[in-house]
Amino acid sequence: MLERLPDLPELDLVNGPIELPGLAYSFADDWKSEIYTAPEIADAILSVPGVILVHDASPDWRSWVARWQKDSHYIEFDMIECEFDPDDDQRPGLTAYWGGSKFDTHCTVDEILCVWRTIQEKCPGVWLHSPDYRMYNLTNFRETFGS
């Protein structure tokens, strides 16, 4: 029997507020987004059972790749690092922050939610984002794409 996986849009992990409203779009962010560093997000991703580091951040974070895998199912991650104003009051002294990660999936909605929930244990202001600028929390992701 051939397993049927969900037909999902391209997804990225992005930062946002600690609590995301049910209907949220990244272009209308009237909230205070959490600021994470690439090492903080890498640590959160690598804390997920089944995730392995495929390539480290050498020579820089654009090279970093990790992958969660269970049998033939997977989620692949990369890392974007952006410049940050060290005078910003939210994270004074910080010169670079995490600008997002691809969330390339070939797995079930339940597997996505399990991996994502584990990442949020360390970095609670991390959400899924689609090409239509929609930002998902765990509940509305399940409602939209779950079976």
pLDDT in tens, 87-111: 999 999 999 999 999 999 999 999 9
**For tokens 């990369």, what's the residue?**
78
Q: What is the pLDDT of residues 18-76, one digit of tens each?
A: 999 888 998 876 888 999 999 999 999 999 999 999 999 999 999 999 999 999 999 99
Query: What does each C-alpha distance from 62 to 45, 82, 136 come to in angstroms?
Result: 16, 10, 25
Residue 2 has pLDDT above 60, yes or no: no
How confident is the model at residue 82, as a pLDDT? 96
* DSSP designation for 62: G
